[in-house]
Amino acid sequence: GAGVSQSPSNKVTEKGKDVELRCDPISGHTALYWYRQSLGQGLEFLIYFQGNSAPDKSGLPSDRFSAERTGGSVSTLTIQRTQQEDSAVYLCASSLSPYTSGNTIYFGEGSWLTVV
């Protein structure tokens, strides 16, 4: 696609339920990032994929959070047993290769998660 696509754009879920957030990166982009943006906060790094592997998952806040990437393309971020503090915008981003090569990181519009 033309840009990074995320779905759903909005999700309201009950506390304790599991949610899945999907990211479709720009075609051909090998690097994929997940960030979380809470109200009044900056962007908090969650996980980085290079291809299908995740060499850096240091930002995942707890074992309730997991992510996978298949076929070097689509990624899914799963939050189990959601809590109210998980309410945030989850942003996905991709780049042709790691940004250190000079490539621009492009962001999607985010998935707004509300846990009630």
Q: Can you give the binding site for other proteins, defined by CB under 8 A?
A: 3-4, 31, 33, 35, 40-43, 45, 48, 50, 55-56, 59, 91, 93, 98-100, 102, 104-110
C-alpha–C-alpha distance, residues 76 and 104, integer Å: 22
What are the structure tokens assigned to 87, written together?
Answer: 């309410």
Residue 107, φ and ψ in degrees, nearest 5: -105, 145
- Residue 84 or residue 104: which is nearer to other proteins going by CB? 104
C-alpha–C-alpha distance, residues 37 and 90, integer Å: 6
Amino acid at 113: L
In the complex, least distance from residue 40 CB atom to other proteins, rounded to whole angstroms: 8
- Residue 59 or residue 64: which is nearer to other proteins going by CB? 59
Residue tagged 């949610």 (tokens): 19
Total residue length of the chain: 116
The residues near 114 (Cβ < 8 Å, ≥ 6 apart) are 10, 11, 12, 13, 87
- Residue 81 or residue 99: which is nearer to other proteins going by CB? 99
In the complex, least distance from residue 86 CB atom to other proteins, rounded to whole angstroms: 19
- Residue 18 or residue 109: which is nearer to other proteins going by CB? 109
In the complex, least distance from residue 44 CB atom to other proteins, rounded to whole angstroms: 8
In the complex, least distance from residue 12 CB atom to other proteins, rounded to whole angstroms: 17
